[in-house]
Amino acid sequence: MKKRTTIGFFDSGIGGISVMTYARTRFPSADYIYYADSDHVPYGTKKREEITLYSDTAVDYLVSHGADAVVVACNTATSMAIDYLRAKYSVPIVGMEPAVKPASEIHSNEKILVCATPVTIAGEKLHNLIDKNYNSATQPTLVATPDLVSFAENSVFDTETICNYLGTVIDKKESYAAVVLGCTHFGYFRDSFREFFGEIDIFDGTEGTVNRLFSLLCENNKYIESDGDGSITYVRSGRIVTEQDELTRFEELADRIVKYYK
Ligand code: DGL
């Protein structure tokens, strides 16, 4: 029997489950390994050296457990460590970046807000991306919203709490036309962003990343269609998750996000 394609996903925590969930709607027959670096979450307030070390450990695990490709489903780790990882490993490695390009194309000359972790907001990669896609008159507003990472990790999803927090960091009077969710943990709060802003276009990097993943798998002859759904193995900082309550929590997160992909 032909081996199924194995795709490794990695994030500091549960954020990347949102990206993997979308990938599974597109390619259900692959086997997935999801690595959450729960021992070290959050990455968004750490130094480059630490983030690179932890990302290296995660990718090493995924590659040594048979991943044909790895998705760094974390904007922060991509910003700090993707060049290092690509230079070190021979499997295709796909990163994530805030979706400022599609947002700028659809909302040229309108106000755009980018929310991400402090590390992504300060990182050179985001600033280069903005310089490529905007002129100086239409620069987006960048706001770090790190508490959303802890809310997601602690399963705090109630709209009132999230909107109250957003009100402390975002000035709603700016009337933004679009918000870019530049952290994979933030996708779980789409409903709260909508409640907070009312009419607003929401962008994230999920679709672009998954499209890139499939073209790389095809280019590398690693795209194998098989019958039936593949498996998902969840790993927390190198330990396979077997506890039923944790597995249920991960499945609930996937259910929370999958409605946006239908
Ligand atoms: N989910 C991650 C991202 O996309 C980072 C969250 C964190 O660990 O701070 O940036």
pLDDT tens readout for residues 76-114: 999 999 999 999 999 999 999 999 999 999 998 899 999
pLDDT < 50 positions in the chain: none
Q: Is 76 in the pocket of ligand 1 (CB under 6 A)?
A: yes
Q: What pLDDT sits at residue 1? A: 54
74 belongs to the catalytic site: yes
Pairing of strands 201-204, 112-116: unpaired
Q: Is 12 in the pocket of ligand 1 (CB under 6 A)?
A: yes
From the CA of 64, how far away is ligand 1's center (Å)? 24
Q: What pLDDT sits at residue 2? A: 57
For residue 184, the ligand 1 atom closest to its alpha carbon is 4
Q: What pLDDT sits at residue 80? A: 98
In 3D space, the residue among 239, 230, 258 whose CA is nearest the CA of residue 31 turns out to be 230
What residue type is assigned to position 115 of the chain? C
Q: What pLDDT sits at residue 82? A: 98
From the CA of 118, how far away is ligand 1's center (Å)? 10
- Helix spans in 12-143 (H): 17-26, 48-64, 75-88, 100-106, 118-122, 124-133
Ligand 1: residue of 11, 80, 204, 206 to mutate (most ligand atoms within 8 A of CB) is 11
Q: How far is CA 172 from CA 71, 84, 141, 168, 194, in A?
A: 33, 38, 12, 10, 12
Q: What pLDDT sits at residue 135? A: 83
In the chain, where do the E strands start and end? 6-11, 31-36, 69-72, 93-94, 112-116, 141-144, 178-181, 201-204, 232-236, 239-240
What's the rounded Cα separation, in Å, for the pair 253 and 15?
9
Q: Is 98 in the pocket of ligand 1 (CB under 6 A)?
A: no
